[in-house]
Structure 1
């Protein structure tokens, strides 16, 4: 059994997002959580200038369960939303297995990994991409 491990993220930006507002500029934010642990849900600030190309550079940290990660049972979810007068609208979302991030961290424990993932619109069609950086802090004992 391992010790405490955390996943530190910086939600950097998105580009070419689906515009859910017909006539107005979008004010966009992201809601981030790891499946199975909704109480750690976090939000970025609202970008009021970027429209379909928002920038946040928002740092957040999640405690992760080592065994669930190694068994590929945890998924990082980023839901991108636009502020709306009658309720916020879903712009798109990204789902990334936490194990995929861990595998991308290569045993060397690099200081920071930068990745880019396709954003899926509510219809399931791809539109835009999300960029973020991440690192794992703490020990995960991988089977060799």
Structure 2
């Protein structure tokens, strides 16, 4: 299972935080205004399903700024089979209409975040309905925190101490500029 419902002592869990920001250019409905909400889940697991509030103001460009957090186990970022699934719906009085969805491998998100050394990122993915990818775009930010793992035998990134390295450079430049002191660390 990808979500850590009851972490065990021998199981490393990582916090996966997602902020579902917005969608844009969704395919409009024919006879009704768009009142859009989204559901977020890990691999369509019903116990992981969370729902945004309905945006009844922005039509085909809904905005939610909805944040949720999952505890995921190490296997979720090691294998392509565990996915973040975002499904979009239009709320209607005659029954909600399915708009489309986004599937993204947690492994892909994890690897993409690692490249920036921040373990977080803001991304945009095309919404699809069946095999059609022209249903608009979904924008979200995400991050990983906790026990971090190597994926595909990659060497650990050089992110350890990344902020410390930047702080040292800023300190060196400041001391040089303000006091004329050149230090070596």
User: Normalized against structure 2, the TM-score is what?
Assistant: 0.71
Stretch moving more, 7-16 or 62-71: 62-71
Flag as ranges the 4+ runs of structure 1 deviating above 4 A: none
> Shift of residue 93 of structure 1?
0.5
Q: Structure 1 or 2: larger strand share?
A: 1
Counterpart in 1 of 2:169?
none
Is the 1:11–1:56 contact (alpha carbons within 8 Å) kept by the matching residues of 2? yes
Is the 1:92–1:121 contact (alpha carbons within 8 Å) kept by the matching residues of 2? yes
**Alpha carbon RMSD of aligned pairs, Å?**
1.8
Any idea what the Cα deviations from partners look like across 1:53-105, whole Å, max 9, x if unmatched? Answer: 00000001112121232022201100000001121110110000010000001
Instruction: Please list every run of 5 or more consecutive structure 2 residues that lacks an aligned counterpart in the other structure.
Output: 1-9, 156-185
**Cα distance 1:16–1:36, how it changes in 2: closer, same or farther (>3 A)?**
closer
Which entry has the higher C-alpha Rg, 1 or 2? 2
Is the 1:31–1:43 contact (alpha carbons within 8 Å) kept by the matching residues of 2? yes
Residue correspondences, number: 143
Counterpart in 1 of 2:22?
13
Instruction: Determine whether 1:102 maps to 2:110.
Output: yes
Instruction: Please list every run of 5 or more consecutive structure 1 residues that lacks an aligned counterpart in the other structure.
Output: none
Higher relative contact order (CA 8 A, sep 6+): 1
Stretch moving more, 96-105 or 61-70: 61-70
Is the 1:92–1:120 contact (alpha carbons within 8 Å) kept by the matching residues of 2? yes
Any idea what the Cα deviations from partners look like across 1:1-56, whole Å, max 9, x if unmatched? Answer: 6522121000000000012x212211000001011632010010000011100000
Distance 1:48 1:122 in 2: 25
**Cα distance 1:36–1:116, how it changes in 2: closer, same or farther (>3 A)?**
closer
